[in-house]
Protein backbone atom coordinates (compact mmCIF):
# COMPACT_ATOMS: atom_id res chain seq x y z
CA UNK A 1 0.00 0.00 0.00
CA UNK A 2 1.92 2.93 -1.28
CA UNK A 3 1.65 6.60 -2.26
CA UNK A 4 5.35 7.06 -2.81
CA UNK A 5 6.81 8.11 -6.17
CA UNK A 6 5.04 6.75 -9.24
CA UNK A 7 2.73 4.43 -7.32
CA UNK A 8 -0.83 4.13 -8.63
CA UNK A 9 -2.01 4.22 -5.04
CA UNK A 10 -4.17 2.03 -2.86
CA UNK A 11 -7.93 2.40 -3.04
CA UNK A 12 -8.93 -0.01 -0.27
CA UNK A 13 -9.06 0.33 3.49
CA UNK A 14 -5.82 0.52 5.43
CA UNK A 15 -5.23 -1.47 8.63
CA UNK A 16 -6.38 -0.04 11.96
CA UNK A 17 -8.06 3.01 10.46
CA UNK A 18 -4.92 4.46 8.93
CA UNK A 19 -5.32 7.01 6.17
CA UNK A 20 -2.71 8.22 3.70
CA UNK A 21 -3.71 11.76 4.67
CA UNK A 22 -2.75 11.14 8.33
CA UNK A 23 -0.01 13.47 9.51
CA UNK A 24 2.83 11.99 11.56
CA UNK A 25 1.22 13.51 14.66
CA UNK A 26 -2.13 11.84 13.87
CA UNK A 27 -0.36 8.54 13.14
CA UNK A 28 1.17 8.49 16.63
CA UNK A 29 -2.16 9.37 18.23
CA UNK A 30 -3.68 6.19 16.76
CA UNK A 31 -1.12 3.75 18.19
CA UNK A 32 0.99 3.17 21.28
CA UNK A 33 4.72 3.86 21.10
CA UNK A 34 6.33 1.97 18.19
CA UNK A 35 8.79 -0.84 18.89
CA UNK A 36 11.15 0.72 16.35
CA UNK A 37 11.32 4.20 14.88
CA UNK A 38 13.83 6.04 12.73
CA UNK A 39 13.53 9.78 12.20
CA UNK A 40 15.19 11.61 9.34
CA UNK A 41 14.78 15.03 7.77
CA UNK A 42 12.49 14.17 4.84
CA UNK A 43 10.94 10.80 5.69
CA UNK A 44 10.78 8.56 8.75
CA UNK A 45 9.34 5.18 9.60
CA UNK A 46 7.81 3.43 12.57
CA UNK A 47 7.15 -0.24 13.31
CA UNK A 48 4.51 -1.81 15.54
CA UNK A 49 3.93 -5.48 16.39
CA UNK A 50 0.33 -6.55 16.93
CA UNK A 51 -1.14 -9.95 17.75
CA UNK A 52 -1.98 -10.83 14.13
CA UNK A 53 0.69 -8.92 12.19
CA UNK A 54 3.33 -6.20 12.16
CA UNK A 55 2.77 -2.73 10.76
CA UNK A 56 5.56 -0.68 9.17
CA UNK A 57 4.69 2.90 8.15
CA UNK A 58 6.83 5.33 6.15
CA UNK A 59 5.74 8.94 6.50
CA UNK A 60 6.82 12.25 4.99
CA UNK A 61 7.76 15.33 6.97
CA UNK A 62 7.66 17.37 3.76
CA UNK A 63 4.15 16.31 2.63
CA UNK A 64 3.00 15.75 6.23
CA UNK A 65 1.30 12.43 5.42
CA UNK A 66 1.71 8.66 5.28
CA UNK A 67 3.60 7.45 2.20
CA UNK A 68 3.74 3.67 2.57
CA UNK A 69 2.12 1.00 4.72
CA UNK A 70 3.50 -2.54 5.05
CA UNK A 71 1.21 -5.04 6.78
CA UNK A 72 3.23 -8.21 7.42
CA UNK A 73 2.47 -11.51 9.11
CA UNK A 74 4.27 -12.02 12.40
CA UNK A 75 6.34 -14.81 10.83
CA UNK A 76 7.78 -12.32 8.33
CA UNK A 77 9.38 -10.19 11.01
Q: Residues 51-62: pLDDT tens digits?
A: 889 999 999 999
Report the predicted TM-score, pTM, of the whole model to 2 decimal places. 0.84
Q: How far is CA 16 from the centre of its chain?
A: 11
Q: How confident is the model at residue 75 (pLDDT cuts 50, 70, 90)?
A: confident
Neighbour count for residue 35 (Cβ, 10 Å): 11
Q: Kindly report the CA angle at 53 between 33 and 25, in degrees rounded to 5?
A: 30
Q: 9 pLDDT exceeds 80?
A: no
How much is the average pLDDT of 3-25?
82
Q: Give the pLDDT score at 76.
A: 74
Amino acid sequence: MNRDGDSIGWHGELPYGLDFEDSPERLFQKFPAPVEQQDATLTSYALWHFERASLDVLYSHVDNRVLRVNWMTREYW
